[in-house]
Amino acid sequence: MNETTPSTAAPLVRLIDEFHKLPGIGPKSAQRLAYYLLRMPPLEAQALAAAILEVKEKVGLCSVCQNVTEVEPCRVCSDERRDRSVVCVVEEPLDILALERAHAYPGLYHVLHGAISPMDGVGPEDLKVSELLQRLRSGEVREIVLATNPNLEGEATAMYLTRLLKPLGVKVTRLARGLPMGGDLEYADDVTLARALEGRQEM
Partner 1 sequence: MAPPRLFKTEAIVLRQRRLGEADRFLTIYTPALGKLDVKARGVRKTTSRMAGHLQPLTRCMLQLVQGHGSDVITGCETLESFQRLREDLDRLSLALYAAELIDRITVERAGGYATYRLLLDTLRRLEHAPDADMALRCFEMRLMDESGFRPQLDACVNCGSQLQPDQNFFAPQAGGAVCRACVPGLAGPRALSLNALKVLRLLQRGSYNDIARVNMGPHLAGEVEGHLRSYIVCVLERDVRAAAFIERLRRERPSRPVEV
Cα–Cα dist 110/5, whole Å = 48
Is 27 an interacting residue with respect to partner 1 (CB under 8 A)? Answer: no
Is 167 an interacting residue with respect to partner 1 (CB under 8 A)? Answer: no
Q: Give the Å distances, CA to CA, from 177 to 36, 127, 142, 151, 193.
A: 44, 23, 22, 10, 9
Q: Closest CB to partner 1 among 82 and 177?
A: 177
Is 91 an interacting residue with respect to partner 1 (CB under 8 A)? Answer: no
Contacts of 17 (CB under 8 A, 6+ apart): 1, 2, 30
> Contacts with partner 1: how many residues (CB under 8 A)?
27
Neighbouring-strand partners of residue 109: 88
Q: Give the Å distances, CA to CA, from 162 to 76, 157, 170.
A: 24, 8, 10
Q: Closest CB to partner 1 among 57 and 186?
A: 186
> Which stretch, 42-50, 64-72, 84-92, 120-128, contacts partner 1 (CB under 8 A)?
120-128
Binding site for partner 1 (CB under 8 A): 24, 116, 118-121, 123-124, 151-152, 155-156, 159-160, 163-164, 180, 182-184, 187-192, 194
